[in-house]
Amino acid sequence: MSNQPEQIARLPARLKVTEIFYSLQGEARNVGLPTVFVRLTGCPLRCTYCDTAYAFSGGEWMDVTTIIDEVKRYKTSHVTVTGGEPLAQKNCADLLKQLCDLDYDVSLETSGAILVDTVDTRVVKILDVKTPASEEDDKNRFENFEFLNAEDQVKFVICDENDYLWSKQIIARYQLDDKCEILFSPCHGQLDATTLADWVLRDQLNVRFQFQLHKHLWGDKPGV
Ligand code: SF4
């Protein structure tokens, strides 16, 4: 028997993936740009308006190299890693770093409920703040605001007037509009978009009003 310490092979980083698909970016600064989406499986939250509950479970284990090979099939430099809550899987940070190393323009959609301190600084973070109508507002990790840079975006999905007033208070309390761009999005099917647009203009808020483009083009279908 050898006295040499046994070599332990390092297993490739794996992630559970719900879907990888090519579509138009439906939200945020890159809206309308052809983008590859990597949707990771799992989320610890249960927002009332969630439209991706199909990503809570199931999925397929894939190593990071295989995910990247799939991303490379598409002729775009834009990649969005989403969920579920992608940061619920610790190897997500590896995937993000490797995509950045390959010079992709990488964005991450995250619930704001998990610390973003391990995310590569080259990644554009689109960080949700969960409003009261989501019924998950107690999960907000407001210390995440310390890790934002000017390229990042903070998103409020607004379901009613109470959500709107609450969001205004959060922006003022944390001086969010000095840190990065803020997105206000009407909750699909719950708040009339024109009403939210009128409130934003009435109060002269320094926010970007947005629709979810993909919902207007394709409705609630998954994988678009
Ligand atoms: S954080 Fe996103 S994926 Fe998770 S429950 Fe809320 S809306 Fe759904």
pLDDT attached to residue 9? 67
User: Could you tell me which residues are beta bridge partners of residue 22?
Assistant: 36
pLDDT attached to residue 2? 47
Q: Is 216 in the pocket of ligand 1 (CB under 6 A)?
A: no
Q: Which tokens go with 11? A: 């297993």
Q: Report the alpha-carbon distance of residue 203 to residue 87 in Å, rounded.
A: 34
The answer to whether the beta carbons of residues 130 and 124 sit under 8 Å apart is no
pLDDT attached to residue 215? 78
Residues in the chain: 224
Residues 6+ apart with CB under 8 A from 220: 51
Using only C-alpha atoms, what is the Rg of the chain? 19
Over the chain (224 residues), the average pLDDT of each successive run of 10 is 57 93 91 96 97 96 97 97 97 97 98 96 98 98 96 97 98 95 95 97 97 80 74
Q: Is 46 in the pocket of ligand 1 (CB under 6 A)?
A: yes
If residue 124 lies in a helix (H) or strand (E), which one and from where to where? strand 124-129
Task: Give the residue whose CA is nearest to atom 2 of ligand 1.
Answer: 84
CA of 85 to the centre of ligand 1 (A): 7
Helix axes 161-173, 193-202, angle to 10 degrees: 40
Q: How far is CA 62 from CA 5, 134, 145, in A?
A: 30, 31, 31
Q: Which tokens go with 104? A: 């992709």
Q: What 3-state class would DSSP assign to 195? A: helix
CA of 149 to the centre of ligand 1 (A): 23
Output the DSSP codes for 136-167: -GGG--GGGGGG--TT-EEEEEE-SHHHHHHH
